[in-house]
Chains A and B, each alone.
Chain A
């Protein structure tokens, strides 16, 4: 394999080379420093490479301009474009200019780099034999097939139990957006689909800054899609990263979550699937909830989707575990579990299987908070009462409790993610 790395940063070139050689020891990697050389001209053997890794800021040059020029060449290899986090419009423009994949530079891990190069260089046989690659390829081709008026679907960026997730953009102004295309097993359940359409129509009309802005939803050739705002700050799981959040900041985020629940509950909508991956941050640090669990309880997909085996049961209310009718208090419980995790950096319950975790919600009294967090014990207790009649009844009650007991605790700074 031959790879060309164009980046103005020596350290990044060194690191990426190391990652690639760790995976493919025989790979030939050529580093190209744009501070010393201008854009490769016609005599440069671009076609001898399998992949070009191209940075978007090249010191004296503009990576996007280089991409446009190089992509006009018939011998241009597959391009992995490196963008800045929080600057998704660059990713949109790169994909429109012909990049084959993109990665956010600040979040580029060994695994992401290898996975991206593997995907770009896979042979037809490998794409068929590897279930993981085959699924990705199916995802890519699905994205290319779905036509949404005024929206361009650009690139598969994630796969969940209920939907595939794509980077997209508004054709008028390149504004980055997210398109989610529901999995067929959800679409084929007529009753569930009707409910999805009905409830997202309500969410779409909901004007709340604490809820993801839904730009539209619809269907194209049996594919049901949802178009929503892009969150440049990532999600709460990224911010947590297994560590606690300073209590004033945790309380601030929790308060925002309560405002969000207040807004949706007022419209008669339950979230039903609160978890760190569903709390997103905008560029300014504000929080919004996404991915209502509307389709979740009508499908087993969430329990079988990769990486989600334990995801949902960790935040389930006892009544969800029992399969009972749900009300506002189920979201209050899940929010309490999230607050516990933010404060302590630990899950409320652990277990080896999803069922074990779920059963803890029914039967196990959680360990008390550590001494330095004892101040929050009463709040946590009333959020995660197993008997929902003893829980806060709604988000307003929680907000009132916070105002009476924690009004002085304001975070020193609002953490922005970029």
Chain B
């Protein structure tokens, strides 16, 4: 990923929603790990689907892309791909830089 991929521009008037949004993403990351460990592909699919839906809405397009990848990985039961995507999600959440416009 390039440095630009970690930069997110968020509208100022939703700035106060971002802490809850980010907290939910970290909770989601943990839920993904638990679901992968339990090979709970239905839960993984639902979590991925939710990420896909909410990421773009807040301007976090990469969350949606990873969500789609998790949803697809869950449908095909591809544990290795899911593990790689979850690692990438962890990396993304730790490095994402938010700016407000």
Are A and B associated in one complex? Answer: yes
Task: Give me the interface of A with B, judged by CB distance under 8 Å.
Answer: 8-12, 14-15, 18, 22, 57, 59, 84, 105-108, 418
> How distant is the Cα of A108 from the Cα of B13 in the complex, in angstroms?
17
Closest to B49 in A: A57
Query: Given the complex, which residues of A lie within 8 Å of B38, measured CB to CB?
Result: none
> Are A11 and B14 in contact (CB-based, < 8 A)?
no
Number of residue pairs A-B, CB distance < 8 angstroms: 44
Is B58 an interface position by the 8 A CB rule?
Answer: yes
> Are A18 and B17 in contact (CB-based, < 8 A)?
yes
Shortest Cβ distance from residue B70 to the other chain A in the assembled complex, whole angstroms = 13
Q: Is the interface of B mostly helix, strand, loop or mixed?
A: helix
Q: A18-B14, A418-B68 are in contact. Are A11 and B54 (CB under 8 A)?
A: yes
Closest to B67 in A: A106
- What are 21 inter-chain pairs, A to B, with CB distance below 8 A? A9-B50, A9-B53, A10-B24, A11-B17, A11-B54, A12-B53, A14-B17, A15-B57, A15-B58, A18-B17, A57-B46, A57-B49, A59-B46, A84-B49, A84-B53, A105-B53, A106-B56, A106-B57, A106-B64, A107-B56, A418-B68
Is B20 an interface position by the 8 A CB rule?
Answer: yes
> Are A106 and B53 in contact (CB-based, < 8 A)?
yes
Shortest Cβ distance from residue A418 to the other chain B in the assembled complex, whole angstroms = 6
Query: Given the complex, which residues of B lie within 8 Å of A106, measured CB to CB?
Result: 52-53, 56-57, 64
> How distant is the Cα of A418 from the Cα of B49 in the complex, in angstroms?
11
Query: Given the complex, which residues of A lie within 8 Å of B68, measured CB to CB?
Result: 418
Q: Assuming A9-B54, A22-B13, A106-B64, what are 6 further A-B pairs, CB within 8 angstroms?
A: A10-B20, A12-B53, A15-B14, A15-B17, A18-B14, A18-B17
> How distant is the Cα of A106 from the Cα of B54 in the complex, in angstroms?
7
> Are B57 and A12 in contact (CB-based, < 8 A)?
yes
> How distant is the Cα of A18 from the Cα of B57 in the complex, in angstroms?
12
Contact of A108 among B20, B52, B57 (CB under 8 A): B57
> How distant is the Cα of A15 from the Cα of B53 in the complex, in angstroms?
12
Query: Given the complex, which residues of A lie within 8 Å of B14, measured CB to CB?
Result: 15, 18
Query: Given the complex, which residues of A lie within 8 Å of B46, measured CB to CB?
Result: 57, 59
Query: Given the complex, which residues of B lie within 8 Å of A57, measured CB to CB?
Result: 46, 49, 53
> How distant is the Cα of A12 from the Cα of B58 in the complex, in angstroms?
9
> Are A11 and B52 in contact (CB-based, < 8 A)?
no
Q: A18-B14, A84-B52, A106-B52 are in contact. Are A11 and B64 (CB under 8 A)?
A: no
> How distant is the Cα of A14 from the Cα of B50 in the complex, in angstroms?
14
Q: Which residues of B from 59 to 97 have beta carbons under 8 Å from A?
A: 64, 68
> Are B58 and A11 in contact (CB-based, < 8 A)?
yes
> How distant is the Cα of A59 from the Cα of B53 in the complex, in angstroms?
13
Closest to B13 in A: A22
Q: Which residues of B from 1 to 48 have beta carbons under 8 Å from A?
A: 13-14, 17, 20-21, 24, 46
Query: Given the complex, which residues of A lie within 8 Å of B52, measured CB to CB?
Result: 84, 106
> Are A12 and B20 in contact (CB-based, < 8 A)?
no
Shortest Cβ distance from residue A281 to the other chain B in the assembled complex, whole angstroms = 15
Query: Given the complex, which residues of A lie within 8 Å of B49, measured CB to CB?
Result: 57, 84
Query: Given the complex, which residues of B lie within 8 Å of A14, measured CB to CB?
Result: 17, 20-21
Query: Given the complex, which residues of A lie within 8 Å of B50, measured CB to CB?
Result: 8-9
Max count, chain B CB within 10 A of own CB: residue among A10, A11, A105: A11
> How distant is the Cα of A84 from the Cα of B54 in the complex, in angstroms?
11
Shortest Cβ distance from residue B16 to the other chain A in the assembled complex, whole angstroms = 9
Max count, chain A CB within 10 A of own CB: residue among B13, B20, B53, B68: B53
Closest to A109 in B: B57
Shortest Cβ distance from residue A218 to the other chain B in the assembled complex, whole angstroms = 38
Closest to B55 in A: A106
Contact of B54 among A12, A22, A59 (CB under 8 A): A12
Shortest Cβ distance from residue A284 to the other chain B in the assembled complex, whole angstroms = 13
